[in-house]
Amino acid sequence: MALTLAELQSARDALLRARAGGMRRVRDQNGEEIEYRSDAEMARALAALDSEIAALANRPPSTFYFATSKGT
């Protein structure tokens, strides 16, 4: 199941807060706990999240709406 853009951003924010606070253990919104072995591993996780967020943010819309009229 793919995560939404908001969920990815929330996960990124939580990971960034934990990294800035010197913590290596993060609990996600499902209650699962993840422990990172090093700061480098956290940096790779942040880079992966940034990549997924960028891909979702730049995705073209899947639905197009046309506004038409007969003219005046």
Residue 25 host element (H or E) = strand 25-27
pLDDT band at residue 46 under the 50/70/90 scheme: very high
Domains in the chain, number: 1
Q: Is residue 23 part of a domain?
A: yes
Which pTM does this prediction carry?
0.70
Domain annotation covers residue 62: no
Q: Is residue 35 part of a domain?
A: yes
pLDDT band at 23 (very low <50, low <70, confident <90, very high): confident
Does residue 72 sit within a domain? no
In a domain, 20, yes or no: yes
What is the Cα–Cα distance from 72 to 39, expressed in whole angstroms?
64
- Domain membership flag for residue 67: no
65 in a structural domain: no
Q: Tell me whether residue 53 is in a domain.
A: yes
- Expressed as residue numbers, the domain containing 27 is 5-57
